[in-house]
Amino acid sequence: MAYEVLFKPMMIGKKNLKNRLAFAPVGMCTADSEGRVTDQVLCHYVARAKGGVGLVIVEHTMSNYRYGLPGSGALSIHEDTHLAGMLDLADAIHAFDAAAVVQLSLGLGRQAALHLEPVGPSAVPFEVREGSAPRGLKFFEGLKSAPPKKLTIAEIEEMENLYVAAVMRLKRCGFDGIEIHGAHGYMLANFLSPLTNRRRDRYGGSFEKRLTLALNLIRRSREIAGDDFIIGFRISGDEHVPGGLPLEDTLKIAAILQKEGVDYIHLSTGTMESWKYTFPEKEGVILPEAEAVKKVVDIPVICPNLHDPKKAAQAVKKGKVDIVSLARPLLADPQWPNKVREGRIGEIQRCILCNGCLSTLFQGFASRCTVNPNVGRERFVPEYFPPPRKSKGRPI
């Protein structure tokens, strides 16, 4: 079968995945006002795990609540009152034999302009220029921020400490790992990028120093969570903004991440200032950057934006990427993987790339999908209810 390459098991770190398909992180903002798991969060993830992916990467999740999105419904694991819900979430994903990794974030950084006081490594203002946004997000064009507040060394150290505490919480909840969010122009990406990091201390001043924060997070997470815990890293191949992180720097960073023991690299592209690259209006746009990264590392490379099962299978078969992550396609049809596995290609409800999911979300509504009426409403669909636990549970 033309698609069997997508269903070949593989390892990331020490974990065996049943196939080469992942649910990409998709922030839905349906947690409660403090970022705790709700029934909607659980049912949304049951739908995707039940659809047959081998890996679920849980959406942008805050490690601290200072630089995140208070009150927005963004998921968070910044304190112990979040443990119970996150444990339910890990169990719900595992019930369908999918590995469960959480995309752990330091916050929105200088792109917090919409919601909070922007902060970052340096006081470089942020602007969404005409022509930089894709369909559905054009209303962002023209948005400008005041220069962000420059973080002090003590504030950066505190952010690191809170991150490591959050990693430990996720491990206690039974997650298989984390994906460090270093993409899309958010806080950690602000430190990696020459455009936004103009510091002259141990967190900036040279290519190597711009990596200090990322390497501290990797090393300290590994130390506390151990070798069995997956540590992935998401990065934008190219920021596609003048003076931003170029692909040639990302290739050097990728090699360093591998040396530091990162278990996989999840490619993305762009920032909020170049969102037409991050959420492309056609598919296959991110593949060339992922392929370039794949050439410089031996660890698995994950790439999104391959919606057509044929293109996804070809990319894996030709060794351009190891795992295909699906974001909008799994909103449109959570059963995409099962349908491909069973050869029911014609039954897939295709994403029409309208970005309605993002448009609703960024206007403060629950995300909706033009072709799938159940998106954002999975809690009302009995087939998406979490199953009863089969085991007696495990000691924490």
Residues that bind ligand FMN (CB under 6 A): 24-27, 59-60, 103, 181, 183-184, 234, 268, 279, 304-305, 326-329, 357-358, 361, 367
| Cα-to-chain-centroid distance, residue 69 | 16
Closer residue to ligand FMN (CB): 29 or 92: 29
What's at 281, amino acid-wise?
Answer: E
186 counts as catalytic: yes
Closer residue to ligand FMN (CB): 192 or 327: 327
The least distance separating ligand FMN from the CB of residue 285, rounded to whole angstroms, comes to 8
Buried b / exposed e across 232-250, counting CB within 10 Å, b at 16+?
bbbbbbbbbbeebbebebb
The least distance separating ligand FMN from the CB of residue 389, rounded to whole angstroms, comes to 27
Which letter does DSSP use for residue 86 in this model?
H
Closer residue to ligand FMN (CB): 156 or 327: 327
The least distance separating ligand FMN from the CB of residue 60, rounded to whole angstroms, comes to 3
CA gyration radius for the chain? 19
Closer residue to ligand FMN (CB): 181 or 339: 181
Strands 21-23 and 230-236: unpaired
The least distance separating ligand FMN from the CB of residue 340, rounded to whole angstroms, comes to 14
The least distance separating ligand FMN from the CB of residue 394, rounded to whole angstroms, comes to 28
For 275-305, give the DSSP string.
HHHHS-SSSSSSHHHHHHHHTT-SS-EEE--
Strand partners, 105: 62
* E strand map for the chain: 10-12, 15-17, 21-23, 55-62, 75-76, 99-105, 119-120, 149-150, 177-182, 230-236, 264-268, 301-303, 323-326
Among 262, 271, 272, residue whose Cα is nearest residue 293: 262
Closer residue to ligand FMN (CB): 169 or 276: 276
The active-site residue, picked from 3, 186, 203, 384, is: 186
Q: Measured on CA atoms in the order 22, 327, 106, 297, is the torsion positive or negative?
A: positive
* Residue that the structure tokens 């220029």 belong to: 129
Q: Active-site positions?
A: 186
